[in-house]
Homo-oligomer: A and B are copies of this chain.
């Protein structure tokens, strides 16, 4: 069958829902009437470390715990539009100019203790910009070092957000292998070293500067030279680049061979 309704029409299960408190979901309905949310994993690089934007919850459940920013999908609003709106509300940034991709839908019926809420997670890659991070509501938003959040002794995130964050990280690491999105972490113009620091922060590994430089500059459409130089604090000035037009890397920059090496 394909979306063919065999049993009660929508109105019926609604009437069954009435009378249940939000803490005690009905279990006799066949079709779930539920709320749909988007949660956004916003990654950026600050001071050489990968950061994620987290908010401190102001009410139960998980009161006072850290969580991913997000909110409900509104009526008549597409999933992508909801993600763009939440991104705007949380960071003030225009998501159309950032990398924003759907990550995964999370639908465990008990992932939210209040009621059934299915969440579609998005991954956003942002450059290190002076973001307002003006929580439109009273919640505080903070950039947090990803490594700290995922440390075993650290308190876990609210809901299943630790899993979402882990999935987002794995996706980001993979994207850096096969696409040019790493440039989306950089403020233009950027140096090859800036771009290398992105790979090192996301992969948690150190890369050979010489080989990396050759690889990046020789891959068509990855970066385009501006001709200008950036005077370094120390050492030879570095050439400046902008993002190229290519979306995918061929051949890819596989991290498998790099895995295991430590960063630093």
Contact surface of A with B, Cβ cutoff 8 Å? 1-6, 9-11, 14-15, 17-18, 22, 25-37, 39, 55, 57-59, 67-80, 89-90, 102, 104-109, 112, 115-120, 135-137, 139, 158-159, 250-252, 254, 256
Please, which residues of chain B bring their CB within 8 A of the CB of A76? 25, 27, 32, 109, 116
Closest to A39 in B: B2
Flag if A55 contacts B18 (CB, 8 Å): no
Q: For the complex, what is the distance from the CA of A2 to the CA of B63, rounded to whole Å?
A: 11
Closest to A31 in B: B72
Closest to A135 in B: B1
Closest to A3 in B: B37
Of B15, B30, B107, the residue contacting A79 (CB under 8 A) is: B107
Of the candidates A36, A102, A115, A137, the one having the most CB atoms from chain B within 10 angstroms of its own CB is A36
Flag if A4 contacts B59 (CB, 8 Å): yes
Flag if B72 contacts A32 (CB, 8 Å): yes
Q: For the complex, what is the distance from the CA of A135 to the CA of B6, rounded to whole Å?
A: 13
Please, which residues of chain B bring their CB within 8 A of the CB of A118? 36, 79, 118
Please, which residues of chain B bring their CB within 8 A of the CB of A36? 32, 34, 36, 107, 118
Q: For the complex, what is the distance from the CA of A78 to the CA of B89, rounded to whole Å?
A: 30
Measured CB to CB, the closest approach of chain B to A141, in angstroms, equals 9
Flag if B117 contacts A75 (CB, 8 Å): no
